[in-house]
Amino acid sequence: MAEKLSAVKGMNDIAPPVSAHWEWLEDKLRTLMQRYGYRNLRTPIVEPTALFIRGLGEVTDIVEKEMYSFEDRLNGEQLTLRPENTAGVVRAAVEHSLIYDGGKRLYYMGPMFRHERPQRGRYRQFHQFGAEALGFAGPDVDAELIVLACDLWAELGLEGIELEINSLGQPVERLAHRAALITYLESHADLLDEDAKRRLHSNPLRILDTKNPAMQAMVNGAPHLMDFLGAESLEHFNRLRALLDAQGVAYRINPRLVRGMDYYNLSVFEFVTTQLGSQGTVCAGGRYDGLFEQIGGKAAPAVGWALGMERILELLKEQGKLPAQPVPDAYAVVPDAAALPQVMKLLRELRRRGVNVQMHAGGAEGMGSMKSQFKKADGSGARFALIFGEQELAQGMVAVKPLRAPAEGQAPAAQTLQPLTDPAAWAAGLRSA
């Protein structure tokens, strides 16, 4: 016997019945995006490694530790499985001149890859849904994206998700803050852990996002970036706040909110929950006006967010908000395999009329007993069994047997006979409400 093979650690199969929850969430997301005028963009899973080095920053955790990168054996090109998709969206926009005629609202969905320690809500292959607004400079689109996410939580029935916002200002303002921050951190060098010491001069802003409890008090006393913002950056942030206030969106200003990629400027935000342990961020994003130039395009404003599909589904499960599993409207009981040609033709007609119908399938031993078929029919969750027995077929009929009571405490309705020649007359009654 050949050696049993398993999936790569941290890269999981998604099988029924769980996959039905994914499909339900994806449908909710697509519908909401359509309401807001966002259109789908699909980018490759593999991108040039240089895209992420330039776009995310050479000294970010993602680039330094987490990317799945390799050399193409045929041409020597350096390639990477995408660890995120904002850089890919902008690369596509530049390559295909997507915003030559004005701003575009786009969304994407798919797998991302990071070499991390797998844990609840964090996997090596994980799935993101993102919304990106390209070519819009004002805080109105920042606010629109935040409100869009809030509408999503309401649509899904999720509770306990809080919004944190901050402003990273512009590069020159961050440089002034960076210098002050380095001076401050150097004065507390004895409290820095090894990771902070490594980042001190390469990416000190990320030290503010430390999870080390021994550093929290010191970090809380560090200079605030907000104090270094100029008038235009402050106006952008204050206008964003005013728009959120007008929509009744609650938020908390978090001066330590910095995000993990170098391309962000001005508005940044995160939606967080306390119900998923250490993986509390369920959706995050911000403005990235400099990314177009960083990857070789003309300067253009942009803002967006991404949410983790696994984390949203985990939160839905935690709050008991996942939908019931889909079930067929009807289950076809076929005692004699000789009737299959006629039965399959009728079932196709029912499906064309919108009836979800599952047919009992046999094997080498035949279709199985009526008792075993009815057991399968009941186990499928179907509301009706369609019985194609010898007597029914001889009369040109099918027996429709209700399997579920119409309401709690009531008995199922009586079995009826329906004509095979006129499925339109009774198909509607089979469809689930």
Q: What is the pLDDT of residues 62-102, one digit of tens each?
A: 777 888 899 999 999 999 999 999 999 999 999 999 999 99
Distance of alpha carbon 194 from the chain centroid? 34
- What average pLDDT does the segment 220-227 reach? 88
pLDDT for residue 207: 85
In tens, the pLDDT along 270-291 reads 999 999 877 789 999 999 999 9
Residue 149 lies in a domain: yes
Residue 217 scores a pLDDT above 90? no
* 301 & 347 share domain: no
* 162 & 64 share domain: yes
* 133 & 236 share domain: yes
CATH of the domain at 74: 3.30.930.10
* 386 & 290 share domain: no
Residue 416, SS3 per DSSP? strand
Residue 364 scores a pLDDT above 70? no
Residue 363 scores a pLDDT above 80? no
pLDDT for residue 192: 87
pLDDT for residue 260: 63
pLDDT for residue 286: 95
Neighbours of 374 (CB within 10 A): 17
Residue 153 scores a pLDDT above 90? yes
Residue 300, SS3 per DSSP? coil
Task: State the pairing for strand pair 265-272/252-253.
Answer: unpaired
Top-ranked range on mean pLDDT: pick from 6-10, 186-190, 242-246, 369-373: 242-246
Q: Between residues 260 and 265, which one has the greater pLDDT?
A: 265
| Kind plus residue range of the DSSP H or E element containing 266 | strand 265-272
CATH of the domain at 366: 3.40.50.800
* 274 & 417 share domain: no
Residue 298 scores a pLDDT above 90? yes
What is the residue-averaged pLDDT of the chain? 90
Alpha-carbon span 269 to 252, nearest angstrom: 10
Q: Between residues 27 and 186, which one has the greater pLDDT?
A: 27
Scored b (16 or more CB within 10 A) or e, 186-222 reads eeeeeebeeebeebbeebbbbbbebeeeebeebbeeb
- What average pLDDT does the segment 160-185 reach? 91
Number of domains in the chain: 2
Residue 282 lies in a domain: yes
* 242 & 382 share domain: no
* 151 & 290 share domain: yes
Alpha-carbon span 358 to 47, nearest angstrom: 42
pTM: 0.88
Token output for 186: 């150097």
Q: Between residues 89 and 199, which one has the greater pLDDT?
A: 89
Examine the fold and report which residue of 296, 318, 340 is the final residue of a domain before the chain moves on: 318
The Cα angle at residue 17 between residues 16 and 22, in degrees rounded to 5: 85
pLDDT for residue 433: 43
* 269 & 358 share domain: no
Residue 146 scores a pLDDT above 90? yes
Token output for 320: 């008991």
Range 349-354 contact pairs with CB under 8 angstroms and sequence separation of 24 or more = 349/423, 349/427, 350/423, 350/427, 350/430, 353/423, 353/424, 353/427, 353/428, 354/427, 354/431
Residue 36 lies in a domain: yes
* 133 & 275 share domain: yes
* 43 & 119 share domain: yes
* 83 & 131 share domain: yes
Residue 6 lies in a domain: no
Residue 218 lies in a domain: no
267 is in which domain, residue-wise? Answer: 18-169+229-318
Examine the fold and report which residue of 318, 353, 376 is the final residue of a domain before the chain moves on: 318
Residue 199 lies in a domain: no
* 94 & 61 share domain: yes
Alpha-carbon span 226 to 240, nearest angstrom: 15
Examine the fold and report which residue of 318, 340, 374 is the final residue of a domain before the chain moves on: 318
**Residue 198 to residues 2, 117, 192, 255: CA-CA distances in angstroms?**
47, 21, 10, 23
Any idea what DSSP says for residue 202? T
Q: Please state the three-class secondary structure of 60-116 as a single string.
A: CHHHHHHCEEEECCCCCCEEEECCCCHHHHHHHHHHCCCCCCCCEEEEEEEEEECCC
Residue 281 lies in a domain: yes
Residue 321, SS3 per DSSP? coil
